[in-house]
Structure formats: structure tokens, C-alpha cells
Amino acid sequence: MEGQKTTQYLGYALGEIVLVVFGILIALWISNWNEDRKAWEFEREMLAQVRSNLVIDRDNLSGIITNARRAIRSSNKILALEPNSNPPDSLKYWLGEIAQFGRFLPLTNAYEVLKSKGLDQVSNKELRLLLGTYYDNMVYAIRDANEDIKYTFKIDWLPVMKEDIVDFKFGHYLVLEDMQEFTEAGDLRNILIMNIDNYQGSIDYMENGLEVIEKINRIIDREIGKE
């Protein structure tokens, strides 16, 4: 009888231990599940903000690219003018499209929050790589390329405008005292040739940036759609 009681006691004790261990495991699982859920909710919120920032960057870049292409087309139109011919009335609008520059100010606040928390908060490895590529590399290359256009405006166009300007509206038209100079070989036509190269280089950097933005946003859309 004594042995039977001891066995029953040990059985009860073992059962209680199993229940306690089981309860601890369940509590740990719930705790981990809650932590994982919080991490995912944070990741999803940050990715949604990153996507919103990138949409604004995309629209900004698209506008700058459009203006850069207009500048190239207008430069080519001027360079195609017959030597020593009378300048067309549209010349002032072509010059207006050339003597301008775009400012690219990327929105990085959401990405900076992610970096401060650790990019490993982003579970998708490809997305982590693309985010780093865009924000830690491409935005600087794009900004520098656009700064080259701005530098050309300051160094090449401003001195000409200060000396000979008649009328000017940024991005719309430019009238100089002697428009005939654009149909003659000289410094002004050389500026146009250099501008074409600068604008094309800027476009190349921006188009690469747009491709990466589209890839990032496609992945984010997939990731945010997960439950």
C-alpha cells in the first residue's frame, strides 16, 4: 500500500511538473508570437512609409527627366540652325528650356528610422539590398549629377545673362540682346554642346534610380500584402 501511494504521489507530482512546463512553453510561445507580430507590424508600417517617400521621389525624378529631355531637344534644335541665319521666334523658348536645372531632394526619413532600428528589421533580403543601393548610393549619384547641371547654369549661363539679358523666366524663356550669336560658331554653341552631355548623364543616373524605385515598390507591395 505504501509503495502504491508513493507511485501515485510521484505520478501526480510528475503531472504537475509537466503541466507547469507545458504552461511555461505556451507562455514563451505566446510571448515570441507577440514579439514577432510587433516586429512585423513595425516593418509593415515602415515599408509603407518608405513606399510613400519613394512615390514622391519617383514623381520628382520624372519631372526633372522631362525637363532634361526638353533641354536636349532644344539644344539640338539650336545647333541645327543654319549658320548666320535669322534666329526664329521660338529660340527664346528653347533657351528657356536649356538655361534651367532641377533640384532633387530625396525623402529619407522612413529609411533613416529603419536604419536606426537596424536594417535586419526588413525580413526580405533582396529588399534590404535594394534599399541600401538606392538610399546609400544612388541618391548621392543622382544629386551630384543634377548639381553638375546647376553648376553649368551658374558658371556658363549666369555670366552671359548678367551681361546680355533682356528678359527671363526660369524654365520658360530667355531673351538676350544678341540672339544671332546662337547661329554662329562660338562660346554659346559650345555651351550647348556641353549641356547636352551633362543633361544626358543626369538622365541616365535618374532613370537607373527610377528602375530601382519600381523594383523596391513592387517588393514592398508584396510584403505589405502578407499577413
At 33-72, the pLDDT tens digits run 555 566 678 788 889 999 999 999 999 999 999 999 999 9
User: For the whole prediction, is pTM greater than 0.85?
Assistant: no
CB neighbour class for 16 (10 Å; exposed up to 12, middle 13-18, buried from 19): exposed
Q: Which residue has the cell 526588413?
A: 122
CA atoms within 13 A on the CB side of 125: 0
Say whether 28 sits in a helix, a strand or coil. helix
**Which triple of cell numbers denotes residue 220?**
514592398
**Enclosing H/E stretch for 166:** strand 165-169
- Tell me the one-letter amino acid at 113: V
Q: pLDDT for 176-223, tens place per residue?
A: 998 988 888 888 888 999 889 999 999 999 999 999 999 999 999 998
Amino acid identity of 118? Answer: G
Residue 98, classified by CB atoms within 10 Å of its CB into exposed (0-12), middle (13-18) or buried (19+), is: buried
Spatial distance between the Cα atoms of 63 and 176, rounded to a whole number of angstroms = 27
Q: Is the pLDDT of residue 153 over 80?
A: yes
**Does 25 score more than 90 pLDDT?**
no
CA 210 to chain centre: 7
User: What is the model's pLDDT at position 6?
Assistant: 64
Q: What is the pLDDT of residues 67-123, one digit of tens each?
A: 999 999 999 999 999 988 899 999 999 999 999 998 999 999 999 998 888 888 888
Q: Which residues contact 139 (CB under 8 A, 6 or more apart)?
A: 104, 106, 108, 209
Report whether pLDDT(141) > 50: yes
Cell of residue 106, nine digits: 530625396
Beta bridge partners of 174: 168
